[in-house]
Structure 1
């Protein structure tokens, strides 16, 4: 929490307005952070424009070495980043360390990808002209990140943008700006030029981002967050015909077939549901269990969920920390109350504990009816909502019956059937006998109203590049 001002042009800049960052476990103020305004945004754009010319002119290997150094430096400070993530986000120590490690890995992955923006030379069949294709930096990028992964959602955007040769302005979530600010001295030490990466915490998010998206120097907008906000940003991006990369909401189904390995299914469901306390767009939201094994599955999942220790995430013995704020906790409680009112049964948890902090206990609901609100909207909390099925075609139909299409999970020992099901699921990603799909080396993203474009993998860098074709004869 050493740095709480704006980071513009490689320097710390104060602001006339500030806002408080709250520890969700204690409801105490952690720090007062500078709140950027339009003038600050213009200064950041100016700085990024100046820095990008020299950075884009560097060789891919030179950019690669800086990113590699950033990975080494961040890896050496994982404990510090994990502690800061816990303080401002609330997640338990193990989750925070997992995020810090995952976040650092994007620098290593895109250090390797920076040298692989491969082009092509071929010959046009009809004219005989040479077709030359190359990838060039797209331009300045505005990055807008959420509170649920204050480190990883930033590095997942910064690393590919720098690998591609772009300058960036990042707007972190107001709930969790401290982690991204703490990353900036590390990037400077790694060799990132002043002005190439700028951080603008702000309580004026809408006006600030809209202003930047209407600046002609901005060519890419990358956003992770709700579908509702994503729609608004896409409308703003349309005015300048910006290149959008949108990772939006999810409503992930988790399908457990009767032949699933029960241990594997329970472990995978726990990971898919409880990673990051369920505050993830990839969290298993609807758990469909074959009726023949539903009783055993529910009993064993309830045992695992009941055994989790709830408390302040800074205590290493705690498994489940608080939710990020009161509004998120209250929404989770409302989902549970609605499901129970419509016929669901509480197997464990299900009530807000007394005392300070935005806590909600690990909860299992069985017999959740289709009409329950939590079936149609993201729970974003530690609630496992179990439904049953008997027919494969029916469960696929139910799984696809949503506007979202980010990720789905399938558990079955029958690989042939499982692959057939995966191909029929209308989702950008599927975890097959796995409760975790996120990997820096894989293209992360969804279909339908879960987003546009991909982050991670080779595709993640191409989101910050434009394809240029040159027709030549010799």
Structure 2
């Protein structure tokens, strides 16, 4: 495990190679790519750049390990995951510093992500021993019906850059609990946290004498070159992807040839609806949480703030005052908001703000690009945003809150649903009937009512429409890695 970094770096103990069949090694072609700190634009380290041969070797190891891993007792799989939970929790400060270094988020947020990511390991340790089954007499009375679940097989897990530990454990946890070995392709921008978690699991597998090929990792700068051949290989039986809808569509098309089981957590355009009777102070508090987690770089971040016209101006001004008080800077230095992930992200966010202003929006706070170094953008509130502005229809993925007014409850719900996406939605009201109506009529897979955060390891995470297929977390997360077998006896 080598890293081209000074001994004081938060990445000094992190493996930077390919993990295949329990062994860290260089990429077959010997290439590497750099991981950059978005707060400073400085290189943190170089990581092995896996190619197609490495991906094939990783899948071969997972396929070879699959029969033995499926036979491992559920309790033993559970204890492996529980031990990993304990280790991740004990290393919170190290892992949080690593997340902040490669992802940019504040240390407080990174610590919260470590706790959230660890919770998937604990939850699925508990779920490993609870796979459902059925035994009953057939209605005709001639035989018994036995229904049991078995692991679907080797799984390819493709994770995004914005939550490098939580997105990894949300997939690894249920896969291992179900008995599926995995090949993980972490995001090129933030591979280090996933590599650190993989080492924790590798060490536990080795210590317990379990199959080494259960966890394999192939960091790469050429995702398509590595994953394409794997999706065409009949040894792969599962694909789990978190990322953009565009990439998700392409992966689904590739997966169709092998009729792979697919879980897809894709893009979002989350509405934050503030009805006319809402507690305005509570709504502003919830809006700050729903918008600014990881600087707005979250698929469940509130994207459009739809506010009843009687409250819209005051809501925008109050939220603007809240945003104006926040400090922006490197996450390791105690600031409230860290950098965006790269220069392209800053360009994209600023272009959406400029478009909104061109359409008549009023800048309440923010909206100006600071000088570098670092990929920073200030928390920004836009009032009087036109409904045809790009930021109303496109995922912002940054700390920008556009406020759009609506006239009545019907219009508010209609505007919220006027999108091809349906990952998350938020609603604020003091009327119980209206809250229940919003819960039933908002077309999203996750709905926060008078609450600005919905993520929970024990609850199903996923969306409707073009926001994806399947669910992660909760009892549903384990189901994604199991197939149903019916036996007539």
TM-score in same-fold range (> 0.5): yes
Matched, 1:458 2:475: yes
For residues 252 and 18 of structure 2, the distance between their equivalents in structure 1, rounded to whole angstroms, comes to 26
Q: Hey, what's the Cα distance between the residues in 1 that align with 2:199 and 2:85?
A: 13
d(CA) in 2 for partners of 1:49, 1:65: 22
**How much has 1:415 moved relative to structure 2?**
1.4
Q: Find the residue that maps to 1:286 and give its secondary structure.
A: strand
Equivalents in 1 of 2:438, 2:160: separation in Å? Answer: 32
Task: Name the residue aligned to 1:388.
Answer: 405
Structure 2: any 5+ residue segments left out of the alignment? 1-10
Deviation at 1:193, TM superposition (A): 3.7
Native 8 Å contact 2:308 2:412 kept in 1: no
SS of aligned partner of 1:358: coil
SS at match of 1:292: coil
Contact 2:313 2:383 in 1 (8 A): no
1:134 and 1:381 map into 2 onto residues whose CA distance is: 45
2:248 to 206, 230, 249: 230
Which residue, 94, 99, 107 being the options, matches 1:93? Answer: 107
Matches within 5 A, 1:237-316: 237-316=255-334
Aligned equivalent of 2:58: 44
- The equivalent residue for 2:6 is none
SS, match of residue 409 in structure 1: strand
1:261: how far off?
Answer: 1.7
Aligned length: 471
Q: Tell me which residue corresponds to 1:436.
A: 453
Deviation at 1:127, TM superposition (A): 5.0
SS in 1 for 2:102: helix
Residue deviations 1:365-418 (CA, integer Å, cap 9, x gap): 001101100111100000001011121111111111111011100011111211
Q: Does 1:215 align with 2:233?
A: yes
Q: Aligned equivalents of 2:65 and 2:89: distance in 1? A: 26
Normalised to the residue count of structure 1, the TM-score between the two structures is 0.98
List per-residue Cα deviations over 1:161-212 (Å, max 9, x = no partner). 0000000000001000111111122112333642111110111101211111
Q: Choose from 419, 425, 440 the match for 1:423.
A: 440
SS in 2 for 1:42: helix
CA contact (8 A) 1:135 1:467 kept: yes
Matched, 1:172 2:186: yes
* Helix, strand or coil at the partner of 1:122: strand
Partner of 2:26: 14
Contact 2:294 2:338 in 1 (8 A): no
**C-alpha RMSD of matched pairs (Å):** 1.0
Counterpart of 2:15 in structure 1 is 3
CA contact (8 A) 2:151 2:180 kept: yes
Matching residue of 2:123 = 109
Checking the alignment, whether the CA contact within 8 Å between 2:265 and 2:463 is kept in structure 1 is yes
Q: Which moved more, 1:176-185 or 1:155-164?
A: 176-185
SS at match of 1:387: strand
Aligned residue for 1:204? Answer: 222
CA distance in 1, matches of 2:144, 2:99: 52
Aligned to 1:195: 213
Separation of aligned partners in 2, 1:218 and 1:362: 43
Q: Are the equivalent residues in 2 in contact too, given 1:120–1:132 (CA < 8 A)?
A: yes
**Partners of 1:276 and 1:402 in 2: how far apart?**
23
| 2:195/2:217 contact within 8 Å kept | yes
C-alpha distance in 1, partners of 2:20/2:189? 20
Question: In structure 1, how many angstroms separate the alpha carbons of the residues matched to 2:61 and 2:84?
Answer: 21
TM-score (normalizing by structure 2): 0.95
Residue 181 of structure 1 is matched in structure 2 by 195
Q: Which residue of 2 aligns with 1:66?
A: 80
Unaligned runs of 5+ residues in structure 1 are none
Q: Structure 2 residue aligned with 1:31, among 37, 45, 52?
A: 45
Q: Choose which of 317, 339, 342 in structure 2 pairs with 1:322.
A: 339
